[in-house]
Structure 1
Amino acid sequence: MSRSIATPAIESQPGAAAARGFELVAIGASAGGIEVLSVLLRALPASFAPAVMIVTHLPPDSPSYLVQVFTHRCALPVLEPDAGERIMPGRVHVAPPGYHMLVEVDRTVALSTDAAVRFSRPSIDVLFESAALVYGEHVLAILLSGANDDGVQGLRRVRALGGTAWVQAPDSASSPEMPRAAIERGVADHIYSPETMARRLAALPASL
């Protein structure tokens, strides 16, 4: 391998963004986010159409067991991709420790050992920004619990290029700093509790 806080959104019918179909769901999580990821992945049906890419802040020199953990909680295939691997619909791609995970223009995975961004490698910002450039309005970026502000710039880029940004409600996060930063800087389209977010994801169109 080359490697003032807003209240959770009230339930409503899916809007135009959901109706048009997402091709990629990019998720960023840090402290306290693994539990929320488990809730979201458990909700995804086997017919879930978009590709899923996940960046979590993990120690770079320790093995990751996230693929094994998520495989037992998700109906979709879960993998740690190699560089150059195609981003496939209906699969969950988890960034390996110590590597930035990016989307290439040909919709393959790039892995980079460039310097940490916001003190993190992998960086949520790096994934979100590269995904926005390639998928445009067809990317849904989700920012979960975390203790810094990684992901805020990435969400800004996603929205600037027509994509959609969901942020976990800070009062439902064990480390609310990351979602709070996104909300305070005005880069969240919707603010959801994990349970509402899971329902919304599961309700996305089964085909594009």
Structure 2
Amino acid sequence: MNAVHDALLAGRKIDAVVIGASAGGIDALLRILPALPRSFGFSVTVVLHLPDDRDSRLAEVFQQRLAMPVRQADDKMPLEAGTVYFAPPGYHLSIERDLSFSLSQEDPVHFSRPAIDLLMESAADAYGKRLAGILLTGASADGAAGMARIAACGGLTVVQDPLDAEIATMPLAAIRLRAPDAVLSVPAIGALMAAMKETQ
């Protein structure tokens, strides 16, 4: 690990990663996730804002590019280490205390369902300081409150550098609400995620 990774990860044990993204997020994720080794020992759960009137092919598209197994999250599905999960369209995705997924069709949050905030807040309550939250490019304030909850629970918070983001609204909202542990470019976020393996 380099000095930045050492400083961010020192003394941490990470069991799970949650990632939120909106406009421009697919490109950012395609630059981050394919570099993760198959032996990456944490679950990675992603909420990407999608139209809720069509099926999602995200799991299929990313599985073709990742060494790790990729699945679309489903209700009551237990989280497994070393697996990437994508939220299905049209449902809010939460993580329960027993580390299983829960789907709901409550009202949209920030005009989005799934909402990043709901995933991150529930994951923070489930994992506490063992969670890492990453917020990428996007055009709403979704994710800001979720990142603040992760920080309040002692988890690691990383926001994409607004200057590096396709749309800076989402990263800026999170930074303004509560300063994250790190503000990094997409390549640096990918390198940090790879370094997380050494915290196991």
- 1:78-93 to 2 correspondences below 5 Å: 78-93=70-85
Q: 2:34 aligns with which of 42, 57, 67?
A: 42
Conserved in 1, the CA contact under 8 Å of 2:5 and 2:195? no
Conserved in 1, the CA contact under 8 Å of 2:139 and 2:169? yes
Unaligned runs of 5+ in 1: 1-9
Match of 1:5 in 2: none
Match of 1:22 in 2: 14
Match of 1:33 in 2: 25
**Structure 2 CA distance for aligned equivalents of residues 193 and 11 of structure 1:** 16
**Structure 2 CA distance for aligned equivalents of residues 206 and 80 of structure 1:** 27
Q: Which has the higher contact order (CA 8 A, sep 6+)?
A: 1
Match of 2:187 in 1: 195
Q: Is 1:151 matched up with 2:143?
A: yes
Unaligned runs of 5+ in 2: none
Match of 1:105 in 2: 97
Q: CA deviation at 1:12?
A: 2.3
What is the total number of aligned residue pairs between the two structures? 199
Conserved in 2, the CA contact under 8 Å of 1:140 and 1:165? yes
Q: Deviations over 1:63-101 (max 9, x none)?
A: 111111111121100001221110000000100000111
SS in 1 for 2:163: helix
1:152 is matched by which residue type in structure 2? Answer: A
SS in 2 for 1:27: strand
Taking structure 2 as the reference length, what is the TM-score of the superposition? 0.95
Q: Is 1:169 matched up with 2:161?
A: yes
SS in 2 for 1:14: helix
Distance change in 2, residues 1:16/1:36 (3 Å):
closer
